Amino acid sequence: MRGGAHARPTPLLFVSVHLTALAKRICLCVFSTLLLFCGFQWNLWRVADRKWFLNHQRDMESQILGRLVKSRQAGLFSAGGLTGFVSPDARAVEYDDEPFEYQYAAYRDCLAFGAYTPYMSHVGGQGLVFGLLDAVIGISPRAKLELFHAFTSLLSAVVLATVVLWFYREFGLPASMLVLASAVLTPWLTVFGRNLWWCIWAFYLPMAAVMHFLRRSSNVSGRRAVTFGTLVFATVLVKCLITGYEYITTALIMALAPFVYYAVLRRHTMGAFLRGTLAAFLGECLAVGVSVAILCVQVAAVKGSAQAGLEHMARALKKRTYADARNLPPPIVESLKSSPAEVLEVYLTGTFFDAGNYLPARSSFVSRHVYRVRYWYLIALFLLASVAVRLRANKHASPEARWKSFALTSATWFSILAPVSWFLIFKAHSYIHTGINFITWQMPFTLFGFALVALAIKRPPPLKKVAVEGGSAQNS
């Protein structure tokens, strides 16, 4: 029928609609990447104190510079390719000697070194990557260091932009913009974004890959389960090789958040859910196991024994969790004796965003309790959003929309396990490192939470009666 209600769309119209949708997605990715990159690279949005931004985790990043100096003078795989500290003489330096600034000076000014102290707690793949780039890029060390920061900022921005894109495709522009704003405005992502040690893109890579894979795959059974497990294995292995076992439980749980979302949305049977969970779990375990094997080879190259690597990792794990406090330094003893509730309280009262960076302080109460948006405020907000979404879905939404809102709510509250797992399992580490561990709230709990808020405040669509085959009607 020409011009009728049942006229078929022409191929040209079909192509035009898809090109328009693709153009929108590209624009969103470019816009998100640009906003995030400017924050990560220059703190352009002033969400973090300038001194904090410039000096955050400079001590850990200096080990990458030490690795570059070692690679430049002794070869890319010398000392097993492990990151570490160089010293100006034959005396090896340790972390407590605070040799951080010398690492930067030795790299920028091409200084010779005497001893090298490797860090043996993870593979340090970022040091190998930057070492390779350092060898092939023919500009001054100072310029290369700026380039490495920009490269890291860009990778972090791109991976997070793909996460924003997923929220756009699932929940629309308002949700994606609120998720993007939450990533841009929290100082915790900003201060980590360009750091050569942390490479935060590697933490989000498994989740981003799972998001877009499952969006195209209706199930993960049969060959799809193998593909899904392989994808999880590959991306988690990249995370372990680049950033080691930093926030490892957080990263592993974070990768499963989109799986939980789609399992609820598509109403998977228990069998399908268990098959997908098993595929992801095996992929994650294999990735961690392979990275441990690589690390043992690296440590053996330094110590002459792979057993030394396993023993070192066991000691490192114990002092970060629940080890026997005897014969350990006082700060570690104190952290081991702390209670899980005490540690969790610290992280609940941390600051997600400080409006005092932009607004004048009215009083100490306002600056501390109103301007500073604390994480427990967000948990309360997300709880309210969950209730609002549920109530409105029951009243206004179609069955499909109700399942979608329920799936997002389920994934959001599942995702809180990612940061909490680190706070409680690695209790001792969390007790000591309150200057860094707040970033785990963004992995990915706050991202999902703000998408839920967007769904709660979104104007409900009007209900329509749509005729269907057989004369029945349904809400759309």
Residue-wise pLDDT tens digits, 365-379: 777 778 899 999 999
- Coarse DSSP helix, strand, coil percentages of the chain, rounded to the nearest 5 percent: 70, 5, 25
Rounded Cα gap, residues 405 and 453, in angstroms: 11
Q: Residue 33 has which token pair?
A: 């990447």
Is the backbone peptide bond immediately before 399 cis, with ω within 30 degrees of 0?
no
Note the pLDDT of residue 319. 57
Nearest to 456 by CA among 397, 400, 386, 403: 386
- Cα separation, 41 vs 96, in Å, equals 29
What is the rounded average pLDDT of the residues 151-155? Answer: 98
Confidence of residue 283 (pLDDT cuts 50, 70, 90): very high
Confidence of residue 393 (pLDDT cuts 50, 70, 90): confident
| Structure confidence at residue 221 as a pLDDT band (50, 70, 90) | confident
Most confident of 220-229, 236-245, 384-393: 236-245
Q: What's the Rg (C-alpha) of the chain? A: 25
pLDDT at 320 over 60: no
Whole-number pLDDT of residue 328: 60
Q: Over 80: is that where the pLDDT of 17 sits? A: no
Query: Of 254, 168, 152, which is closest to residue 203 (Cα–Cα)?
Result: 254
- Taking all residues of the chain, what is their mean pLDDT, rounded to a whole number? 89
Give the length of the chain: 476
> How much is the pLDDT for 369?
77
- The three-state secondary structure class of 84 is strand
Residue 128, pLDDT > 60, answer yes
* pLDDT for the residue 58: 97
How much is the pTM?
A: 0.90
Please compute the mean of the pLDDT values over residues 338-359 and round it to a whole number: 91
- Chain centroid, CA 390 distance in Å: 28
pLDDT for the residue 82: 96
- Structure token digits, residue 61: 């990043």
Higher pLDDT, 459 or 70: 70
The region of weakest confidence among 53-67, 68-82, 145-159, 305-319 is 305-319
434-460 mean pLDDT: 94
Q: How confident is the model at residue 460 (pLDDT cuts 50, 70, 90)?
A: low
Alpha-carbon distance 180 to 178, whole Å? Answer: 5
Distance CA 305, CA 200 (A): 31
pLDDT of the residue at 476: 33
In this predicted structure, the answer to whether residue 421 has a pLDDT above a threshold of 70 is: yes
Query: Region 96-110: what's the mean pLDDT?
Result: 95
Q: What is the pLDDT of residues 190-204, one digit of tens each?
A: 999 999 999 999 999
Q: Are 82 and 125 in contact (CB under 8 A)?
A: no
pLDDT over threshold 70, residue 347:
yes
- DSSP β-bridge partners for residue 117: 85
pLDDT at 14 over 70: no
Judge whether residue 444 has pLDDT over 60. yes
**Which sign, positive or negative, has the C-alpha torsion 359, 435, 438, 251?**
positive
In the prediction, which pLDDT does 469 show?
A: 39
pLDDT for residue 327: 57
Look-up: residue for tokens 């706050």?
Answer: 446
pLDDT at position 4 over 60: no
Q: 166, 261, 260: which is closest to 204 by C-alpha? A: 166
* pLDDT classification of 465: cutoffs 50, 70, 90: very low
Two tokens, residue 106: 């030795």
Q: Which of 257, 172, 163, 274 is nearest to 219 (CA)?
A: 274
In Å, how far are 40, 103, 258, 355, 371 from 358, measured between CA atoms? 18, 35, 35, 6, 10
Least reliable range by pLDDT among 38-47, 75-84, 254-263, 388-397:
388-397
Sequential DSSP letters for 207-250: HHHHHHHHHH-S---THHHHHHHHHHHHHHHHHHHHHTTTTHHH
Residue 1 has a pLDDT of 41
Residue 367's pLDDT is 77
Query: Would the pLDDT of 42 be above 80?
Result: yes
State the average pLDDT over residues 113-126: 93
33, 154 in Cβ contact below 8 A?
yes
Q: Is the CB of residue 349 less than 8 Å from the CB of residue 376?
A: yes
Helix (H) or strand (E) holding 130, with range, is helix 125-136
C-alpha to C-alpha distances, 23 to 57, 169, 181, nearest whole angstrom: 38, 13, 21
Residue 311 has pLDDT above 80, yes or no: no
